[in-house]
Structures are given as structure tokens and as C-alpha cells.
Amino acid sequence: MSTDSSSLWNKIKSWPLLLPVVALILVMALNILHDVAVGANPLSFFTITLNQTTSGGTILYGRIIDILNRGSEVAILALGMTLVVSSSAGTDISVGSVMSLSASFCCMLLAGFGVTSTNELRVPLIVGVLAAFAMGTLCGCFNGTLVAYFGIQPMVATLILFSAARAIGLLVCNNMIVYIRNATFGAFGAFTGPLPTPIIIAAICIAIVAVVLRKTSLGMYIQSVGINSKASRIAGLNSKRIIFLTYVICGFFAGVAGLVNSSRITSADSNNIGLYYEMDAILAVALGGNSLGGGKFNLAGSIIGAYTIQAITTTLYALGVSTDQAPVYKAIIVVIIVAIQAPPVRAFFRKRANAKAFGKEAAKA
């Protein structure tokens, strides 16, 4: 073995995204296997076609596009969740409910209180959009205050909005589903040119966070506080404020995700928007190879994790698994992915690899 290839192999082995990427590839492979088994084009998973819509537009169509599109909300949530997990070694379980509340608040403003269905917007669209963001941010402030300044366990602190936010959303919508039958509102869940808009929104969110982390020292601050908040304080960081900030960011993105989700169905369905999304967001962070014990984080891993979850769901549907049974298979795949990342399993494989290498050496000698 030449030194060049071995150093490349070492680089790959120590690449932090290795396992998340492997997990994603595994899911794709499952698709290919299935396609081969049923005699379809083995690459149909990757095929992207341009389709004509009934209204005369041209849109991109394909399973990958579908995964990227459907996975947008979880990817957006995973951004904030990654930061929350890193800084506070806890999770924000309220994001799904906050999505719902933000959507309800937005739709209520756009339709007017008590109106169940409207074609005309009561206030400019931008007001509704900003209201959704503001509501998410406000919820984030609430969670952040409880966790950072009152020292309440993140799980318990966010449990409050987990159960209350959805109900408040219902209250805001006067216990009804509010329909906004207006194309401008639906645009966030539809297509911009040939691309689904949610993909573009997710891309913008990811870009914003990436730029902020690159251009400011926020990333180091968050990790530093997450690893050792006492030492960070002595070194001049305001640990509490940084933890607070991560919850605010997480809340803001829940607002964004809520808007996208609501726009897809052009309504504020308080009971269903964002349902169980918090679990997917937390899972995305874990699948991305991030420790839920806080500290070091890897944003790219979380994003890959988010799309992996969607890829699993889409794959299962492609395999013909019914919607009711999908969670069972999803659980099995997730257990496998998480298990291969678990330290004891990794240690086991490392040991075997070492033993093998040792055996080779011995054989040589």
C-alpha cells in the first residue's frame, strides 16, 4: 500500500461526516436494490425529469427532489436544534408546537380573527410572514429564559411550550382551521421556477447560519460554553446569554419552518402542523454524529441527518410500505444507523481492525 493512499484512507476515516454520509448512502442503496429487484431502471432514484404542470409551468420531478423538498422543515429545525444541543446539552422539544403556533398566528393575521376561509389577505403578506418569525423568536426567548436564566432542565422548560403552544395556536384561530386560499401565501410551499420553494428557503437558512458561523465567533462560543460553561465564564464569555441566544435562534427557525409547512397546505391546521417534528429534528442532530451531551457540533452532519430521515420515509413509501406501518421500519433503520455510531460499536470495529493489522504484521514477520 502506498503512503499516499493510506494517508487518504486515514483522512477519510477521521472525517467527521463519514458515518452520516455512509448512513445516507445506505438508504440510497436500499432504493437501488429495490428498483433492481422489481426490474425498474436501477438509477430511477436519481432520475430527475422536467414535467409540465397543468397550469403550464415546468417543474423538476424526481425522488431526490421530493426528499429535498419534504425534508426542508426538518433541515431548518435541525439548524437551531444543533446549536441548542451544543450549548445546553439539552433539547428543545417545543419546536413542533412552536411551528404550529407561528403558522396559526400568521394565518390569523392574514385572514382576520374568527375568519375560517379567505381569498383576500387582510394585511400585507409580509406582515404575516414577519409575524410568524416573530412568534417563533418570542417562543425561543421564553424557552431560553427558562433554561439559561432560571436554570431549568431544557427538557422540562421546553415541555411547557410543547404542550401549550399548539393549544394557544388553536385559541388564536378560534378553534378552527384557517384556510388562506391565496396564491401569494401558498408560494412558500409551491414552486419558484422549476424548483420547490421550500428547498430554496432551507438553502437560504443554511447559508445564513453557515455565514454567521464563519464570520463571527459564535460557533466557538457555543461549543466552549457547551463543553465547560464555568471555564467559559472565567474566560470572559457570558455563558447564560449564549445559551439564551441558541434557544432564540432555534425558536426563529421553528417560526420559519411553521410558515413553510402552513404554506404547503395553505392553511393553519393547529393540530397537525409540525406534529412530531421535534423528534425528527432531534434525531437529525443525533444522526449527524453530534453528541446529545453538548459541546462540539457539526452542522453539516445535522443537515445530512435531516435529509436522511426524509430519505428513509420516501424510500419506505417507494417500497410500498403503508403510512401506518412506516414508523416501525423507520425505527429499525434508525436503530441501525445510531448503533453503528455508538462508541462501543465503533470501539469494537476499531479493535477488530487493529487485531487484523497486527495479524498481518505478524504474518509478514
Partner 1 sequence: MEDNVVLTARGISMTFPGVKALENVDFTLRKGEIHALMGENGAGKSTLIKCLTGINDFEAGEIHIEGVDEPVKNHSTRDAQNVGISTVYQEVNLCPNLSVAENLFIGREPLTKLKTVDRKSYNVKSQKIMDDLGISVDVTQNLENYSLAIQQMVAIARAVDMECKVLILDEPTSSLDDEEVEKLFKLMRMLKEKGVGIIFVTHFLEQVYAVCDRITVLRNGALVGEYPIADLPRVKLVAAMMGKDLDDLAAIKGETKDLSHEPLEISAKGLAHIGTVKPFDLEIHKGEVIGIGGLLGSGRSELARSIYGADRANTGSLKVKDKDVQIHQPIDAMNLGMGMLPDDRKAEGIIEDLTVRENIILALQAKTGMFKKLSRQKQNEIADRYIDLLSIKTPSPDTLVKQLSGGNQQKVILARWLATSPDFLILDEPTRGIDIGTKTEIQKLIVELAGQGKSIMFISSEIMEMVRTCNRMVIMRDREKVGEIGGDITEQKIMHAIAGGEGE
Instruction: Give the C-alpha distances (Å, rounded to integers) separating 150 from 144, 162, 260, 363.
Output: 9, 18, 32, 62
The single-letter code of the amino acid at 175 is N
Say how far apart CA 299 and CA 19 lie, in whole Å. 14
Window 335-364: contact mask with partner 1 (x via CB under 8 A): ------------------------------
With vertex at residue 314, the alpha carbon angle to CA 309 and CA 320, rounded to the nearest 5 degrees, is 130
What's at 106, amino acid-wise?
C
Phi, psi of 242, rounded to the nearest 5 degrees: -70, -40
Instruction: Quote the least distance from Cβ 167 to partner 1, whole Å.
Output: 36
Rg, Å, the chain Cα set: 22
State which residue, 214 or 364, has the beta carbon closest to partner 1. 214
Q: Which residues, numbered 138-157, are part of the site for partner 1 (CB under 8 A)? A: none
Q: Nearest distance from residue 16's CB to partner 1, in Å? A: 13
Nearer to partner 1, 168 or 249 (CB): 249
Work out whether 292 is an interface residue with partner 1 (CB under 8 A). no
186, 194, 295, 327: residue in contact with partner 1 (rule CB under 8 A): 295
Rounded-to-integer distance, Cα 88 and Cα 95, Å? 16
Interface of this chain with partner 1, residues 194 to 253, rule: CB under 8 A: 215-218, 220-221, 223-224, 227-228, 230-238
- 49 strand-pairing partners: 61
DSSP secondary structure letters along 274-304: TTTHHHHHHHHHHHTT--TT-SS--HHHHHH
CB of 4 to partner 1, least distance (A): 21
| Nearest to partner 1 of 213, 319 (CB atom) | 213
Which is closer to partner 1, CB of 241 or CB of 351?
241
Please give the Cα distance from 221 to 246 (Å, whole number): 11
CB of 236 to partner 1, least distance (A): 3
Residue 350 beta carbon to partner 1: minimum distance, rounded to whole angstroms: 17
One-letter identity of residue 295:
G
Binding interface with partner 1 (CB under 8 A) = 215-218, 220-221, 223-224, 227-228, 230-238, 295-296
